Structure 1
Amino acid sequence: MPGVLLLALLASPLATAQSTMLGMDHGDMRGQGGSAPADARDPHAYAGGTTLSSGPYALGTERSLVMGDEHSHGLFLVDRLEVVRGDAGDDTATGVYDLMARWGHEHARLVLKAEGEVVDGRLAASSTEALWSRAVAPYWDTQLGLRHDTTDAGKARDWLAVGIDGLAPYWFEIGATAYLGESGRTALGLSVEYELLLAQRLVLQPRLEAEAYGRRDAANGIGQGLSGATAGLRLRYEFSRQLAPYVGAEWAGHFGETADLLRAAGAPVRETRTVAGLRFWF
């Protein structure tokens, strides 16, 4: 009985409220839209006449905010500046450089790449690229430009370069470029590297490079097909993020027709090397 009495007491106010709402004229209800009441406060009453378009604090026509990806900025990176010693049994040391410079904003920029070898104080071989890089997806850029190769024992070659460069899942840095040269020559270059953080300043970097050519170039000792590949490990210590010496080892090999041309010239086809160098950027 007490429970029935309690339900009756609760139901009585609810029924009264429901009947009141049913009898209400909803046309008398006002929403938040429409004109302000006559006695509403003036929104400019305490602004001294200053608005967004007039007064001493007007924004004007120029943009006051510029996003980070709209700024142009530059970078100069010497990825490898090293001395290389092979296992051929002589004391000859080869100097190797691999550098990159770029200028522009995040969506489009000019990129310059250069790498080469110095033997006995002279430039033995070099490759220089001027590329226009444009973002096509997060972490990925397409690149279009020109490449110029020189060698002291052969002929210089010029190429049209089309490639893609970016960061793959699991933080693999990948670059793939196709080249079209004079007389129908074609080439393909591929590079993959990864940075393994052993400690806050100690970084192990595996690196793989390979190149293939569409036709034989006997003047430069290059055969058709897969020409050569290099796999290496470099361990660097970062005194700062901008300056890091390193040591490492790498294996280099040539294949197919290129290997045949090297054997005919008395040059080694496989080689294990030790390297020591410096990496820096600003």
Structure 2
Amino acid sequence: DSPRLQAELDKQMQDEAREVAEFSDAIVKEVTQELNSATAQQIQLKFEAPSAAPSAQPDACLSRSKGKRSWRRARRGAGAANLECESNWRQERLRRMFPYQGEIERPECRAITVKQLERVKYYAARHCKYWLDPNPERAASTANLDDAFKRAAAPKELALNSVNLYHLCMWLIRPATRERDCSFVELLTDKEQVPKWFVSHWWGETITSFLKCVEKHLLVRGLPADTPYWVCAYANRQHSLSEEISPDPRASSFHRALLASGGVLLVLDPKRES
């Protein structure tokens, strides 16, 4: 019953989009007001930021009030000290948008649903204009954003249709999960979500293309909208990958998720003419 499933999925997406938009607007407004009204020293105390060069911080902290373009310029040319305030602002925003829900001990039970993927997409849609792309494949394994920008010759601004999992891991997944050393799914639910499908894909595809593929799979298969899919980026604890990926492949989270799943969804690149 594809029309019914499509209608149900559309309604869930619209409801989620409205909730996320309202929540995000409130958070951004609140935190931006704090940034605009506080001094650099007060911001450091509020977020418990480490001390840095006093002369370098106010411009980086308060440049946001001068408009999007000015604080982007400041970020491009800033060193670690200048980026400290913005990093704290970003971390606080993530903490409020994606609060920790609880531990899900078994990695194979950290699958993600389309509704939860939509929440990620809408967050990226609203915030990726503030993200830069220094070098996604290298930055994805970089624990510190400042280190990534030090290596970047000419970082580029991002749009939603170019955001892939390397970008998402750098700007959302790793920062949001660092404090709790958890998986991203544990920021979305504290309930086990046993996968029905294991997704095999490439991190370089855009998150919008990935989501369209999963949504199409739901419709073609006539699956419930809350069907869980196992996706490594969201299921694994990115700050403790050595615990998730064992030297013995049969003990890894990937093998365990494959055994728990009922099938494999293989996501391919769009067909290209040679």
Q: Under TM normalisation by the shorter chain, which class is it?
A: under 0.3
Q: Which has the larger radius of gyration?
A: 1
Normalising by structure 1, we get a TM-score of: 0.24
Normalising by structure 2, we get a TM-score of: 0.24
Task: Please identify which structure carries the higher strand content.
Answer: 1
Greater relative contact order: 1 or 2 (C-alpha under 8 angstroms, separation 6 or more)? Answer: 2
